[in-house]
């Protein structure tokens, strides 16, 4: 129950917080050629590289034939597909009125459609409001979270969320938090589905705010690790996939609580190691490759006429 409660507690805010940050850092995306090239090299290229890596792990540990399925993302690779779509559409959300309302309607509507698992479409649509919220937030909106008052209420809020997760662990279907299943998949009537999803957004916003309030504003020993965040995000999936394929989860569960606790400590250590700059120096050609010079298009000449009608 403790493991289930911890899972519910973390999943209640960690994906919303991550997607919100991605939206906040996409505010300057306008679709310029240099931005599009970076989108290709830092999202699409790693996606295909790690799709191949996941297929390779299954070949080595499960003796499966090597097969690439790029339209069905493996494990954490769905996030790269989602980020590609979200960032590519950022200028559209900046151009419309009430973008968060439209994103919420899109998210709720996805729960009543049969999207399958192609290109992680359910998650892309259901998590879209968090990206749009991050896109619309300005630094001034986040500044109140940096004062002492915010930190005082943030800790009780997170503690209450942890206690609620303990209560909910045997009662709540975790599929609600995965943002993959619609009303039919969860087996609930439409009205209840909409009510619970809206409550999730409200509670998630409160927990995300509390989490950000607890993050230190000053530079710490962990600050530098954040510069390599994409590396542990992608690599931990490979490690967990290999661990699962080798029967590791079954062995830990059978060994009891001490094994679960020890594995959790080990995972925390591995996460820190995967964030080291040394990992970045070795793997940057796979995760952050430069755009080949021979593929760069020629600059588009400025059109004649720069007056009011020309513009």
Q: Which pLDDT belongs to residue 245?
A: 83
Q: Which pLDDT belongs to residue 67?
A: 82
Q: Which pLDDT belongs to residue 29?
A: 94
43-56 pLDDT tens trace: 999 999 999 998 88
Whole-number Å distance between alpha carbons of 103 and 127: 9
Q: How confident is the model at residue 98 (pLDDT cuts 50, 70, 90)?
A: very high
List, as own/partner pairs, every contact residues 145-152 make where C-beta atoms lie below 8 angstroms and the sequence separation is at least 24, other chains included. 145/209, 145/212, 145/213, 146/213, 146/217, 150/209, 150/213, 151/213, 151/214
List the single range of 103-112, 113-122, 248-257 with lowest mean pLDDT: 113-122
Whole-number Å distance between alpha carbons of 186 and 172: 11
Q: How confident is the model at residue 64 (pLDDT cuts 50, 70, 90)?
A: confident
Q: Which pLDDT belongs to residue 223?
A: 81
Whole-number Å distance between alpha carbons of 65 and 199: 44
- Asked if the model's pLDDT at residue 300 lies above 70, the reply is no
Q: Which two tokens stand for residue 304?
A: 């004649």
- Asked if the model's pLDDT at residue 301 lies above 70, the reply is no
**How many other C-beta atoms can be found within 10 angstroms of the C-beta atom of residue 9?**
20
Q: Which pLDDT belongs to residue 299?
A: 62
Answer yes or no: are the C-beta atoms of 122 and 115 closer than 8 Å: yes
Domain boundaries, the chain: 2-217, 218-292
Nearest Cα neighbor of 275 from 234, 219, 220 is 234
- Asked if the model's pLDDT at residue 309 lies above 50, the reply is no
Percent of the chain at pLDDT > 90 equals 49
Answer yes or no: are the C-beta atoms of 169 and 8 closer than 8 Å: yes
Report if pTM > 0.75.
yes
137-156 pLDDT tens trace: 988 888 888 888 888 999 99
Mean pLDDT of the chain: 88
Q: Which pLDDT belongs to residue 78?
A: 93
Question: What's the start-to-end Cα distance of the chain, in Å?
Answer: 63
Q: How confident is the model at residue 294 (pLDDT cuts 50, 70, 90)?
A: low
């Amino acid at each position: 129950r403790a493991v289930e409660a911890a899972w519910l507690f973390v999943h209640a805010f960690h994906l919303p917080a991550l997607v919100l940050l991605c939206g906040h850092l996409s505010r300057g995306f306008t679709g310029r050629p240099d931005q599009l090239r970076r989108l290709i090299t830092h999202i699409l290229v790693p996606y295909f590289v790690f799709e191949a890596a996941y297929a390779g792990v299954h070949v080595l540990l499960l003796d499966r034939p090597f097969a690439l399925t790029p339209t069905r993302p493996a494990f954490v690779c769905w996030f790269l597909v989602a980020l590609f779509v979200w960032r590519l559409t950022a200028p559209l959300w900046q151009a419309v009125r009430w973008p968060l309302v439209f994103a919420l309607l899109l998210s709720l509507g996805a729960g009543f459609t049969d999207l399958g698992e192609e290109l992680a479409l359910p998650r892309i649509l259901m998590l879209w409001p968090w990206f749009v919220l991050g896109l619309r937030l300005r630094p001034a909106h986040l500044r109140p979270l940096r004062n002492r008052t915010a930190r005082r209420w943030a800790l009780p809020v997170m503690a209450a969320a942890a206690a609620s997760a303990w209560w909910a662990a045997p009662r709540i279907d975790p599929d609600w938090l995965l943002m993959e299943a619609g009303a039919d998949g969860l087996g609930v009537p439409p009205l209840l589905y909409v009510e619970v999803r809206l409550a999730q957004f409200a509670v998630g916003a409160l927990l995300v705010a509390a989490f950000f309030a607890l993050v230190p504003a000053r530079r710490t020993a962990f600050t530098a690790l954040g510069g390599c965040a994409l590396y542990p995000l992608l690599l931990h999936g490979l490690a967990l996939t290999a661990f699962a394929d080798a029967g590791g989860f079954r062995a830990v569960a059978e060994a009891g609580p001490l094994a679960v606790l020890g594995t959790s400590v080990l995972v925390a250590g591995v996460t820190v190691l995967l964030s080291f700059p040394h990992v970045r120096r070795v793997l940057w050609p796979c995760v952050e490759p430069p755009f080949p010079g021979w593929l760069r298009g020629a600059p588009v000449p400025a059109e004649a006429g720069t007056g009011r009608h020309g513009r």
